[in-house]
Structure 1
Amino acid sequence: MNTGSAPRPASRLSRLRRLAPVLCIPPLIGLVLTGFITWVNVGFADDFVSRWLRGFVSALPVMALGFAIMGVLGSLLQRHFGHLPDVLKKVMLALSMACTMEFLLATVVTLSNVGWNDGYASAWLAAFLKSLPVGLGIGLLMGFVIKPRIDRLMARV
């Protein structure tokens, strides 16, 4: 019988269960957004799935940049608008992140689907404007529902 006061290390499965949402949610968001942008660019053509996957793979590095920007924006919002209610700060972060992510993803996915030609600018604008409400919805869902749950999950020992 062990009567030592050393805490029992968390099981490997427990740690994996806590990390799973953090590791799965960003690619899931990327799949949804790149799928939507691909649909805006080319519709449900015969090669939709291959274009979607190519756009998703192209967007992965950009998504990493977007999540880094989200951290910077969050700290800037806290520093400059820390006096505002949390609800307002979450809405501001969701709006700024939606604009940033949709700008980046629309750029990369439209370039992947349409190429750099005369129709790129109009295809990009359509993809950006049509995907912005989707991105805002995802941002609000993340800020008000998913992130608080992940924070509670990660806080458990």
Structure 2
Amino acid sequence: MKLMTKFIGPAITSFMVVFIVTAFVIWLNIGFSDDFLSRWIKSWLFGWPVATVSVVVFTPLATTITTYIGSTWIRDID
């Protein structure tokens, strides 16, 4: 896998997930107050890089666990 491809997928995925999750958590904590948008954007800007790095770092482990579960716990339905 090319280096850029390795980071583009996680960056796009984490962008979308953090965008929704930060909005939801800010809404739960403060509701739609006057400073909702500024808090949301700030939280998203700090959360997105953390999430992107986390996805890049933990994807190999998640793939290993998924392969293990798929090969030992789940029987073929065919």
Shorter-chain TM-score above 0.5: yes
Contact 1:114 1:123 survives alignment (8 Å): no
TM-score (norm 2): 0.75
TM-score (norm 1): 0.41
1:141 positional shift: 2.0
- Mapping for residues 1-157 of structure 1, pairs under 5 Å: 85=1, 87-143=3-59, 145-157=60-72
Q: CA RMSD in A?
A: 1.9
Unmatched tracts of structure 2, length 5 or more: 73-78
SS in 1 for 2:11: helix
Question: Matches of 1:154 and 1:88 in 2, distance apart?
Answer: 29
Greater radius of gyration (CA): 1
Deviation string for 1:105-141 (max 9, x for gaps)? 0110011112101110111011100111211122112
Report the count of equivalent residues: 72
Asked which structure has the greater RCO (Cα within 8 Å, sep 6+), the reply is 2
Matched-pair identity in %: 17
